């Protein structure tokens, strides 16, 4: 339990946008709500009335209609929302057309060849023009609503514009970060088969320029070989690459833009002809390796309305804000950040390392007047070891600091208020790729308590359940569940019903979707987080303490991915060949996370079963790490590879990740239900392995399960 004295208290809660919204609820529905807790409770009991008023309050451009949602529906029904509505997400992002207001600022990490790279900026009027030209160019390619447009790009202005243009005509956006290996992106893109791919020619990271075209070439060749797909590729020339060889395999960004500028497709009297679709129209596909490992399809209206609620009503963001979030284009926080365009504020994009020069991002705060600074808990943890921004920078513009990716430790709350800013709203936020938004997070009307997320977000009926499906008792940790439908619930997993895909694939996707979120508790959304709800104080309805994931997701450095991403590499490169025995064979493997830094972070432990009589050599370990680094990312590389005699499985043939993770982190063997395992006798070895691993990292704290 955290301390009762808040680290931050709002100067005038009643003057916030949240309480202005509360007053509107009272006026429209003749209620007598007085506190955030009152408003939160009402918003989850009357989801139809609440989300209808949100639409009216946050300025959504489009036709609303009369229908909102079936207020009696359960989450597992995944009900339709605003069935009569017609809107376009990109149109709502480009409401501002100012020739003076800066929409995007792109900063780049310095390199020896370019020690002081200039910022790149576009106004809202310029961004609109770029998007309009891109719309025309995309329409020339014959794109239509529902087609997929993909990105294999860095965090740049062009990538944002491409997303806006694709969704303006009703296409579905798909993104793979430039730091992903080509094989990993291929595995994603072959599932959704994009018709167009935007990419950069180079990426800057850790003070070096990394050519990207070779990876793009591998991706394009793989799509041809695997699914006979030849998407139109557009290469963004960053200026960081000494030679960008446009060999005919792709088209340059400048040429593509010029083609669009020279015709008027998709425009009526100079205005983009926005493709207004239904509220549930698919907007983008995100890949959640953590929970599902499959393509998650999000609805356009849900993404728009949820972002507007979070930014406008809960966070009090305004058009004068300068909003920065350190993210890659493959993380949902990129989508989260881009949603800030709907407010008319300025977004800051950064391409490069956050910690090679610890002062760099904080110089950006002072130089650009950043008011909202978003990052990860891992970044703050690393920064806290040897850097105190408050001693070197003014930081007077800062209003909010957001942290996500992993739980923010209580000591890091202390660090932020002591060494960064004494009077900033520090918001630990949580949600995930599955909903591309937040279950719990920030509210300018509420205080900040040490180690706690401020509140459950309005309209999100979050509770905690015990393993038997009962509501957890006060002060008792449990599974994070959502017991009422919410508009940012994904449409499903790709392929969706109605798309050009085999019936078997659609049926399998529906089954995986239900299994991922609704198999554990009847009708209720289970998110996979282990949390604790705190008692209500000052009308906040109780905060939230994150205790980690309840499933086997890996989360080193705040970057979530599924163990399947490692298994797929091992299967492709080291799988046994019938009739052949080689020194590079792995018979089976298990990947789990081990807590380090007192639970602030974790490292990946890979347990491998080798052929009988084979010992794990340093050469073999190097080969495994190299393959994972090349085919995935450096973040996927295990910190330790351990040889074991056997891999535990359940009676129905599933790898036993969660129990092994518990054992590795110090839980006693007696806490594991051995009756569900096919080979429980092998767990004794993992007890010994866990003891050795914990000695290595000095982690003597037993995990609480």
Which residues does residue 590 pair with via DSSP β-bridges, in sequence order?
607
Q: Could you give the angle at the alpha carbon of 515 between the alpha carbons of 514 and 517, nearest 5°?
A: 70
Please tell me the pTM assigned to this model: 0.86
Lookup: tokens for 132: 């309009």
Those residues whose C-beta lies under 8 Å from the C-beta of residue 244, and which sit 6 or more positions away, are 201, 202, 213, 235, 237, 252
- What is the reported pLDDT for 473? 79
**CB of 543 closer than 8 Å to CB of 453:** yes
User: Measured between alpha carbons, how far is 28 from 523 in angstroms, rounded to an integer?
Assistant: 31
- What is the reported pLDDT for 293? 55
Q: What are phi and psi of 218, to 5 degrees?
A: -60, -45
| Beta-carbon count within 10 A of 27 CB | 9
- What is the reported pLDDT for 4? 80
Fold category of 572-703 in CATH: GMP Synthetase; Chain A, domain 3 (3.30.300)
The answer to whether the bond into 495 is cis (omega within 30° of 0) is: yes
Those residues whose C-beta lies under 8 Å from the C-beta of residue 622, and which sit 6 or more positions away, are none
**CB of 170 closer than 8 Å to CB of 196:** no
- What is the reported pLDDT for 528? 86
- What is the reported pLDDT for 164? 98
Divide the 705 residues of the chain into consecutive groups of 10 and give the mean pLDDT of each group. 78 97 98 97 98 97 98 96 98 97 97 94 98 98 97 97 98 93 90 97 94 96 95 92 66 96 88 97 84 80 98 98 95 96 98 94 98 93 93 98 88 96 97 95 97 96 89 84 97 93 93 92 90 85 82 77 82 77 84 86 94 92 94 91 92 78 91 80 94 80 35
Q: Could you give the angle at the alpha carbon of 245 between the alpha carbons of 104 and 626, nearest 5°?
A: 85
**CA distance to 410, 449, 463, 471, 561, per residue, from 474 (Å):** 21, 18, 11, 9, 31
Long-range contacts of 474-478 (CB under 8 A, 24+ apart): 474/533, 474/535, 475/1, 475/532, 475/535, 476/532, 477/530, 477/531, 477/532, 477/547, 477/704, 478/530, 478/531, 478/532
Lookup: tokens for 272: 């983009």
- DSSP 8-state secondary structure symbol assigned to residue 51: H
- What is the reported pLDDT for 249? 86
User: Measured between alpha carbons, how far is 128 from 159 in angstroms, rounded to an integer?
Assistant: 14
- What is the reported pLDDT for 597? 82
Q: What are phi and psi of 298, to 5 degrees?
A: -105, 145
CATH number for the domain whose boundaries are 13-353+429-533: 3.40.50.12780
Q: From its phi and psi, is residue 270 left (phi > 0), alpha (psi between -120 and 50) or beta?
A: left
Listing DSSP states for 275-331 in one string gives --B-TT-EEEEEEETTTT-EEEEEEHHHHHHHHHIIIIIIS---TT-EEEE---TTS
Those residues whose C-beta lies under 8 Å from the C-beta of residue 692, and which sit 6 or more positions away, are none
- What is the reported pLDDT for 701? 39
| Burial class for 389, CB neighbours closer than 10 Å (0-12, 13-18, 19+) | buried
User: Measured between alpha carbons, how far is 56 from 85 in angstroms, rounded to an integer?
Assistant: 13
Lookup: tokens for 122: 């576009």
- What is the reported pLDDT for 2? 43
User: Measured between alpha carbons, how far is 200 from 633 in angstroms, rounded to an integer?
Assistant: 18
Domain ranges of the chain: 13-353+429-533, 572-703
**CB of 567 closer than 8 Å to CB of 556:** no
User: Measured between alpha carbons, how far is 247 from 235 in angstroms, rounded to an integer?
Assistant: 11
Lookup: tokens for 477: 């940790």
- Sheet strands side by side (includes 425-428): 120-123, 102-108, 346-351, 322-325, 372-376, 400-404, 425-428
How do strand 294-299 and strand 282-288 relate by DSSP bridges?
A: antiparallel
Q: What kind and span of H or E run contains 128?
A: helix 124-140
User: Measured between alpha carbons, how far is 454 from 456 in angstroms, rounded to an integer?
Assistant: 7
Closest CA to 609 of 664, 676, 655: 655
């Amino acid at each position: 339990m955290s301390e009762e004295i808040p680290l931050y208290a709002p100067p005038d809660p009643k003057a916030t946008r949240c309480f202005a919204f509360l007053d509107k609820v009272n006026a429209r529905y003749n209620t007598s709500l007085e506190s955030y807790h009152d408003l939160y409770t009402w918003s989850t009991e009357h989801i139809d009335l609440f989300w209808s008023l949100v639409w009216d309050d946050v300025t959504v451009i489009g036709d609303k209609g009369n229908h909102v949602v079936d207020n009696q529906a359960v989450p597992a029904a995944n009900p339709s929302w605003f069935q009569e509505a017609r809107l376009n997400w990109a149109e709502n992002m480009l409401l501002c057309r100012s020739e003076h207001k800066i929409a995007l600022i792109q900063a780049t990490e310095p390199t020896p060849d370019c020690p002081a790279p200039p910022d790149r900026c576009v106004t809202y009027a310029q961004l609109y023009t770029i998007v309009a030209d891109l719309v025309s160019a995309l329409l020339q390619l014959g794109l239509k609503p529902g087609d997929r447009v993909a990105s294999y790009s860095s965090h740049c202005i062009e990538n944002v514009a491409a997303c806006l243009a694709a969704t303006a005509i009703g296409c579905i956006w798909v993104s793979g970060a430039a730091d992903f290996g080509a094989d990993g992106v291929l595995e994603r893109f072959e599932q959704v088969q994009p018709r167009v791919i935007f990419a950069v020619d180079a990426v800057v990271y850790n003070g070096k320029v990394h050519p990207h075209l070779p990876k793009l070439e591998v991706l394009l060749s793989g799509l041809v070989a695997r699914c006979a797909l030849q998407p139109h590729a557009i290469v963004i020339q960053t200026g960081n690459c000494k030679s960008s060889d446009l060999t005919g395999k792709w088209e340059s960004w400048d040429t593509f833009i010029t083609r669009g500028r020279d015709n008027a497709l998709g425009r009526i009297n100079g205005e983009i002809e926005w493709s207004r679709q239904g509220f549930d129209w698919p907007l983008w596909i995100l890949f959640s390796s953590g929970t599902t490992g499959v393509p998650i399809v999000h609805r356009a209206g849900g993404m728009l309305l949820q972002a507007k609620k979070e930014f406008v009503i809960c966070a009090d963001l305004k058009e004068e804000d300068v909003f920065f979030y350190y993210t890659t284009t493959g993380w949902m926080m990129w989508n989260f950040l881009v949603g800030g365009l709907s407010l008319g504020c300025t977004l800051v994009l950064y391409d490069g390392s956050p910690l090679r020069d610890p002062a760099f991002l904080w110089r950006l705060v002072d130089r650009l007047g950043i008011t909202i600074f978003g990052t990860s808990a891992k970044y703050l943890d690393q920064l806290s070891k040897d850097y105190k921004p408050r001693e070197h920078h003014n930081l007077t513009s800062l209003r909010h600091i957001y942290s996500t990716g992993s739980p923010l430790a209580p000591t890091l709350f202390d660090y932020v208020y002591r060494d960064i800013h004494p009077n900033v709203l520090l918001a630990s936020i949580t949600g995930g790729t599955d909903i591309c938004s937040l279950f719990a997070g920030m509210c300018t009307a509420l205080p900040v308590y040490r180690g706690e997320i401020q509140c459950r977000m309005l309209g999100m009926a979050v509770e905690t359940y015990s393993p038997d499906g009962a509501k957890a008792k006060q002060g008792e940790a449990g599974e994070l569940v959502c017991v009422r439908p919410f508009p940012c619930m994904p449409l499903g997993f790709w392929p969706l019903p109605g798309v050009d895909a085999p019936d078997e694939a659609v049926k399998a996707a529906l089954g995986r979707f239900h299994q991922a979120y609704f198999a554990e508790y009847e009708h209720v959304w289970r998110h996979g987080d282990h949390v604790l709800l705190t008692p209500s104080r000052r009308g906040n309805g109780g905060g939230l303490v994150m205790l980690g994931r309840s499933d086997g997701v890996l989360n080193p450095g705040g970057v979530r991915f599924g163990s399947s991403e490692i298994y797929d590499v091992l299967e492709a490169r080291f799988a046994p060949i019938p009739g052949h025995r080689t020194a590079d064979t792995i018979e089976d493997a298990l990947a789990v996370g081990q807590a380090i830094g007192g639970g602030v972070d974790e490292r990946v432990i890979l347990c491998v079963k080798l052929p009988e009589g084979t010992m794990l050599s340093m050469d073999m370990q190097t080969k495994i790490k190299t393959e994972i680094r090349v085919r995935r990312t450096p973040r996927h590389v295990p910190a330790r590879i351990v040889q074991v005699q056997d891999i535990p499985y359940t009676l129905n043939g599933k790898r036993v990740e969660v129990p092994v993770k518990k054992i590795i982190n110090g839980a006693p063997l007696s806490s594991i239900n051995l009756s569900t395992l096919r080979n429980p006798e092998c767990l004794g070895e993992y007890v010994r392995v866990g003891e050795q691993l914990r000695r290595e990292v000095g982690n003597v704290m037993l995990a609480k399960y």
